[in-house]
Amino acid sequence: MNEPLKKTRVIDDISLAAAALNEGLLVAFPTETVYGLGVDATNPAAVARLFAAKGRPSDNPLIVHLADFDQWPKAASEISESAGRLMRAFSPGPITVVTRKNPKIVDAVTAGLSSVGIRIPNHQLAQSLLKECGLPIAAPSANVSGRPSCTTWQSVLEDMNGRIDFVLKGDICRIGIESTVVDCSCSPPRLLRAGAITREQILEHIPDLISWQAQDPDDLIPSPGLRHPHYQPRAVVVLVQSLYELTALPSDDLRHAAYAGVVSPMADRLLETFPQLSRLMMHARFATIEIYMREFYEFLREADRKGAQRIFLQLAPDSGLGSALRDRQTRAAG
Ligand code: TXA
Ligand code: MG
């Protein structure tokens, strides 16, 4: 079962993908956030193979995906009041709620925890696949563990060719970063991972929401994923406030560097005043935070493909959607 495969097939046949999941095979598929790597969450051998394919540490639990909210008993044994409120408000959509696990879900999926994260993706192909296979599907992001997530099927293949069975082909993911994760198994509920459903939006439904923060290193970590490196390209990532911070760099450094930020009149003026900035090997300025977010992981991957030594990222503001992007930027910088 653990032997490497010869070839991964890129397909657009949903019935074939659903049948493969029922046979315990590994199928990557698009969602509105990032591509997921799906497996039957009730099949222990298949789940073990998924952890191996990703190189995922066994203490980092997976999210279980369902076609609609009525299916929650397939993954959970109970839906807390807060979990129900968030699911009704934001599902299908880019949110994961952590609640009490159903024993039918393999223990390895939840890394031995008694809780499970559940999510209903808002994406037509993902929905059809989940409906047709009829299973609770455990699906981490479809990248090699530690690398930037994948928002295109080509990037999935770049990381996973020969390690998984199928890639269900879709367009570039609309949102571009992973779902918001809220632990609703405790009171008050805790925000474990920022995402496109913002803290401000959640507070409208759960006014006592708190953020998880380590008080001391011995604290039990509620989202074990936070312990491991994430989203890191091979190039060194440097966070900057603006393009101005690059103007002091020698031309040779610029030639091997990439920059991503947002459009601004100040950036336009800097480019006029410091012509050496045009030496950057990659230079992207996005019109909005939404677009920056959608293009973010692919930018990191493209910089790696081009052999960039350093990637300079203009930090997103710490509010609204910006908080989610800023979290990924900070973790990409290690
Ligand atoms: O948007 C997404 O959520 C994507 C798509 C494919 O749905 N999936 C995704 O999965 O980002 P992954 O495995 O890359 O991240 C799952 C996160 C981790 O930070 C993990 O620690 C947390 O969810 N998580 C999962 N189950 C949990 C649980 N029972 N308790 C606490 N945290 C949990
Ligand atoms: Mg991931």
Summarised one tens digit per residue, pLDDT across range 201-215 is: 999 999 999 987 644
Average pLDDT, the chain: 94
Summarised one tens digit per residue, pLDDT across range 248-272 is: 999 899 999 999 999 999 998 999 9
Confidence class of residue 229 from pLDDT cuts 50, 70 and 90? confident
Separation between Cα atoms, residue 72 and residue 88, nearest integer Å: 12
Pocket of ligand 1 (CB under 6 A): 31, 33-34, 36, 60-63, 96, 98, 110, 113, 115-117, 119, 121, 139-141, 178-179, 181, 183, 192-193, 222-225
Q: Atom 3 in ligand 1: which residue has the minimum CA distance?
A: 179
Atom index in ligand 1 nearest the CA of residue 225 equals: 21
Q: Would you say residue 221 has pLDDT above 80?
A: no
For the CA atoms of 331, 66, 157, 297, the dihedral, rounded to the nearest 10 degrees, stands at -30
Separation between Cα atoms, residue 187 and residue 193, nearest integer Å: 17
- For ligand 2, a single-atom ion, which residues have Cβ within 5 Å? 141
Summarised one tens digit per residue, pLDDT across range 13-36 is: 999 999 999 999 999 999 999 999
Tokens 């509105």, residue located: 32
Q: Atom 24 in ligand 1: which residue has the minimum CA distance?
A: 61
Ligand 1 midpoint to CA 249 (Å): 38
Atom index in ligand 1 nearest the CA of residue 117 equals: 26
Ligand 2 midpoint to CA 31 (Å): 13
Confidence class of residue 228 from pLDDT cuts 50, 70 and 90? confident
Atom index in ligand 1 nearest the CA of residue 178 equals: 1
160 contacts 8 by C-beta, under 8 angstroms = yes
**Count of CB atoms situated within 10 Å of the CB of 61:** 24
76-79 CB contacts, 8 Å cutoff, 24+ apart = 76/100, 76/101, 76/102, 76/116, 76/118, 77/101, 77/102, 77/103
Q: Which helix (H) or strand (E) holds 28?
A: strand 27-29
**Amino acid 5: pLDDT:** 59
CA nearest neighbour of 50 among 27, 81, 20: 27
Bridge-based pairing state of the strands 236-240 and 310-314: parallel
